[in-house]
Copies of this chain bind each other. A is one copy, B any other.
Amino acid sequence: MPSSLRFLTAARRCEIDDLQHLAQTAVLVRVCARLIHELQRERGVSNLYLGSGGARFVGARSVQLAETDRVLAELRTAFESLDARPEGVPQGSRLFSRLAYAFQGLDALPTLRARIDALAWDTERATNAYIRLVSAWLAVVFEAADRASDPEVSRLLVALFNLMQGKEFAGQERACGAALFSAGRADGMRRQRLLHLIESQERCLQVFADFAGPASAAQLRQNLAPDMAAELERMRRLVAGSADGDTLDTALSLPWFEHCTVRMDAMKQIEDQLAEELLALCERRTAAARAELQDHLDISGQLDTGTGSTAFFDAPEAPPANQHGMGPRLEGSILELVQAQARRLQTMADELDTARASLNERKLIERAKGLLMAHRQLSEDEAHKTLRTMAMNQNRRLVDVAEALLSMAAVLPPRT
């Protein structure tokens, strides 16, 4: 077999390998999504428990803790197989590093629960602890989305990540609003934070809609727009329209919480569907790639190797991709096959870039935080708060502030 044909086959085999890795990733992402959902529920019921001074929601919380633990056990089992053979995960250092951090969070979960049991932490501190835990696991899903090498799978992972991130913003909105209504008093900082959470949420859901395809997007809109949603919007407006020190109806605290929960559960439905769709897509793509490899092997023996001809020098370097892929009846030379594959991979790379571009926003924010940390000797939390405050004060999106900051990097003096 000439080298060119062997490498053509190798390229196909690599694609299949990559798709198999993606299928494995999809299984892990599904269980991450489930864990995050349980942690969000645990955060919610723990806040209710703390808010009641430990008097109520004891049973509901204990049911929820057991449910989280059940999913946690599943997650540990799922990750054990990955754990066993790191060499099977190409360029996996970032993914594993995220996982190491995320598992650190899980190790600390019993302590967090004990603090809540003992009413030693207030709602805000407990909320922040759960936010950090969830954020560590969302970072794992982000990394998985950023690594995907197949454009279709990448699009779906980007959609799923944004839905999950949007749902987490909804969860933070629930906690923030519940704190406002419980306190019975409007508070400028919290109000601004709530509005920011709503805006961030909507941006995530927009990216989700862009990448998930019209059916899922329509279904989410339908899920989010029943009568309950109108009531939530009314309560959101109460907060948005309040001025510092205004009285808020404490009786709205629980309805607010419940309406937000309904909203999150509606998102969860689509999330589950998307996670299943992701798995099915990986399997479909792998099966298709295998079939194509077989076709390729079947026909490649019968092809004109092109040796002795000057086709290489005369042919267009890479003709536009054959829209119908490489069917079993394809005729012609190896050169045509090679060119068709090159064009197909180029198209895939372009599509992949498009899907990944939407992840860059988050990366810019991370980088701007890094810059603040290095130049101002801030912790990550402080850096994030600084960015958020800048964004709120300037009424700009976080990513715009991050970008402006990065573009000024060259002129920022290092602080000693």
Tell me how far the C-beta of A114 lies from the nearest C-beta in chain B, rounded to whole angstroms.
9
Q: Is A390 an interface residue, CB under 8 A from the partner?
A: no
State whether A86 touches B10 (Cβ < 8 A). Answer: yes
CB within 8 Å for A79 and B115 given contacts A97-B11, A97-B345, A132-B313 = no
Q: Max chain B CB contacts within 10 Å: which of A3, A92, A111?
A: A3
Can you pick out 26 interface pairs between chain A and chain B where the beta carbons lie within 8 Å of each other? A3-B99, A10-B83, A10-B89, A11-B93, A11-B97, A14-B90, A14-B91, A14-B92, A14-B93, A91-B91, A93-B345, A97-B342, A97-B345, A98-B342, A101-B338, A104-B306, A105-B312, A108-B312, A110-B308, A112-B310, A129-B310, A132-B313, A316-B379, A316-B382, A346-B370, A347-B370
Chain B residues with CB under 8 A of A112? 310, 313
CB within 8 Å for A104 and B317 given contacts A10-B86, A10-B96 = no
A312–B9 Cα distance when bound, in Å, is 47
A334–B103 Cα distance when bound, in Å, is 11
State whether B7 touches A381 (Cβ < 8 A). Answer: no
Q: Which of A103-142 contact B (CB under 8 A)?
A: 103-108, 110-112, 115, 128-129, 132-133
State whether A92 touches B320 (Cβ < 8 A). Answer: no
Copies of this chain per assembly = 2
State whether B97 touches A7 (Cβ < 8 A). Answer: yes
Chain B residues with CB under 8 A of A339? 101
Q: Mark A292-330, 1 if CB is under 8 A from B, else 0.
A: 000000000000011111111100111110000000000
Q: Is A200 an interface residue, CB under 8 A from the partner?
A: no
Interface of A is mostly: helix
Tell me how far the C-beta of A56 lies from the nearest C-beta in chain B, rounded to whole angstroms.
25
CB within 8 Å for A108 and B313 given contacts A14-B93, A338-B101 = yes
Residues of A within 8 A of B (CB): 2-15, 17-18, 76, 79, 83, 86-87, 89-108, 110-112, 115, 128-129, 132-133, 149, 305-313, 316-320, 334-335, 338-339, 341-343, 345-347, 349-350, 366-367, 370, 373-374, 379-382
Which of B89, B105, B313, B334 contacts A129 (CB under 8 A)? B313
